[in-house]
């Protein structure tokens, strides 16, 4: 029987910090474009893909967060105990993928500043890098990170909720399509894509590693961890649903979305001239929070390489952010690197989640803790879905390389 510890003020702050760190890590520039494009393609039926992806996401995240918390070890360390060397392999993939994605996040923040103030994208990107670095070098940086990600998450959700109300979407049609889509088989690719974007790569480990670092480990804290895992996915899902409904609303009203920047045209149609600046605020919040989440989580995977990475973790995070920013400033946005990162993301989750499922049955890792069978079933489904995503992304990379 699970214990139910009384939650203190600091634990409540930690809970929301872990929830929003995970959620805002997934809500980046790609999240905004991805949701908009799929809604444009499938209209109300896209609601089915969102619901299915949320169910799979919860299955994946509950498995990972609970097992890691009970063991008190980070993802790469658990993977190493299941199969020696596997954790180091996964850590390398996550660090490379996280660095590449962070270049895109920095670029997205620069575009956000450009939309709001008209500044050069590189100036906005440099400011983003500086702000993110300051968060990790000030005293009590982890607490500052928790607060910043919460504020940015609330700002994004609030603005998108307002745009959804203004766009007046067909709620009844969307609700019906949630369980009765027009072509359910056509939803396979969107579901796989959403799962990869919500819990793929480093994202699902962001909150779990934050909880481990704060000492929320062992079976006595399992209920707390489960709540945090569920709320993380639900928060991401709420943002996805709000944006979906906002896009559906403007499309129903006859909006023609820009091919170059589909989500921006949604805000412009709904809000008029100020819409682009409002979109800039959302894009900036999404990008900055993703920069923080990617840097923190990628650096946490480097802790096992050498004690110096663990001892000077904040400096590693700063170096990670600085490198991402400088690459964008001096090289631009390397498309090939981002495509490689997408492929890495596709293969990281099934490998790591598979290792977590095996770890859940090893007493040397989880002790006497009994991991629920229904969670393992959910986890197996998530492994299969994300494995398909990985194969598809690798195939796409091969086609690009050959063509």
**pLDDT per position as a tens digit, 112-158:** 999 999 999 899 999 999 999 999 998 887 888 989 999 999 999 99
Percent of the chain residues topping a pLDDT of 70: 91
- Measured CA to CA in angstroms, residue 87 lies from 72, 82, 346 at distances of 15, 9, 16
What average pLDDT score do residues 21-28 get?
87
226 versus 11: the higher-pLDDT residue is 226
Distance CA 269, CA 251 (A): 9
pLDDT of residue 172: 95
Cα 285 to Cα 279: distance, rounded to the nearest angstrom: 10
Q: Given a cut of 80, is residue 33 above it in pLDDT?
A: yes
Q: What is the pLDDT at residue 395?
A: 62
Find tokens 């998108």 and name the residue.
160
Would you say residue 394 has pLDDT above 70?
A: no
Reported as type and span, the H/E element at residue 206 is helix 203-213
Residue 334 has pLDDT above 50, yes or no: no
Q: Worst-scoring range by mean pLDDT, 76-90, 99-113, 287-301?
A: 99-113
pLDDT at 318 > cutoff 70:
yes
Give the pLDDT band of residue 343 (cuts 50, 70, 90): low
Question: Residues 6 or more apart from 111 whose CB is under 8 A from it?
Answer: 29, 121, 124, 280, 283, 287
Q: How confident is the model at residue 381 (pLDDT cuts 50, 70, 90)?
A: confident
Report pLDDT for 1.
Answer: 44
**pLDDT confidence bin for 25, thresholds 50/70/90:** confident
Q: What is the largest CA-CA distance in the chain?
A: 60
- Separation CA 279–CA 32 (nearest Å): 10
Place of tokens 């800039």: 280
In this prediction, residues 202-209 reach a mean pLDDT of: 89
CATH number of 9-402: 1.20.1740.10
HSE-up of residue 344 (Cα within 13 Å, Cβ side): 22
Residue 90 and residue 79 in contact, taking contact as beta carbons nearer than 8 Å: yes
pTM of the model: 0.88
Q: Chain-centre distance of CA 302, in angstroms?
A: 19
């Amino acid at each position: 029987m699970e214990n139910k510890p009384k939650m203190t003020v600091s634990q409540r702050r930690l809970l929301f910090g872990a929830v929003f760190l995970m959620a805002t890590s997934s809500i980046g520039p790609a999240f905004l474009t991805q949701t908009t494009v799929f809604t444009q393609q499938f209209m109300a039926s896209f609601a089915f893909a969102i619901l299915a992806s949320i169910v799979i996401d919860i299955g994946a995240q509950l498995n990972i967060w609970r097992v890691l918390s009970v063991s008190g070890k980070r993802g790469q360390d658990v993977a190493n105990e299941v199969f020696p060397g596997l954790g180091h392999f996964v850590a390398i993939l996550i660090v490379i993928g996280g660095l590449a994605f962070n270049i895109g996040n920095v670029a997205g923040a620069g575009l956000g500043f450009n939309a709001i103030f008209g500044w050069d994208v590189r100036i906005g990107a440099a400011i983003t890098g500086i702000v993110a670095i300051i968060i990790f070098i000030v005293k009590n940086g982890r607490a500052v990170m928790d607060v910043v990600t919460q504020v940015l998450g609330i700002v994004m959700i609030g603005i998108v909720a307002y745009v959804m109300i203004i766009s007046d979407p067909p709620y009844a049609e969307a609700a019906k399509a949630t369980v009765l889509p027009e072509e359910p088989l056509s939803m396979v690719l969107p579901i796989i894509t959403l799962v990869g974007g919500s819990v793929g790569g480093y994202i699902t480990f962001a909150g779990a590693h934050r909880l481990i670092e704060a000492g929320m480990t062992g079976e006595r804290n399992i209920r707390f961890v489960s709540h945090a895992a569920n709320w993380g996915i639900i928060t991401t899902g709420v943002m996805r649903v709000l944006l979906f409904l906002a896009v559906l609303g403007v499309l129903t009203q006859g909006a023609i979305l820009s091919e170059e920047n589909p989500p921006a045209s949604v805000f412009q149609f709904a809000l008029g001239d100020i819409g682009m600046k409002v979109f800039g605020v959302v894009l900036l919040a999404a990008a900055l929070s993703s920069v923080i989440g990617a840097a923190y989580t990628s650096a946490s995977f480097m802790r096992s390489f050498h004690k110096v990475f663990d001892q000077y973790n904040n400096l590693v995070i700063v170096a990670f952010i600085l490198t991402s920013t400088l690459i964008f400033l001096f090289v631009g946005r390397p498309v090939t690197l981002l495509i490689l990162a997408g492929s890495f993301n596709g293969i990281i989750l099934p490998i790591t989640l598979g290792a977590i499922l095996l770890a859940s049955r090893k007493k040397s890792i989880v002790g006497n803790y009994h991991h629920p069978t229904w969670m393992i079933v959910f986890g197996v489904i998530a492994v299969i879905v994300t494995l398909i995503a990985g194969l598809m992304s690798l195939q796409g990379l091969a086609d690009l390389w050959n063509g």
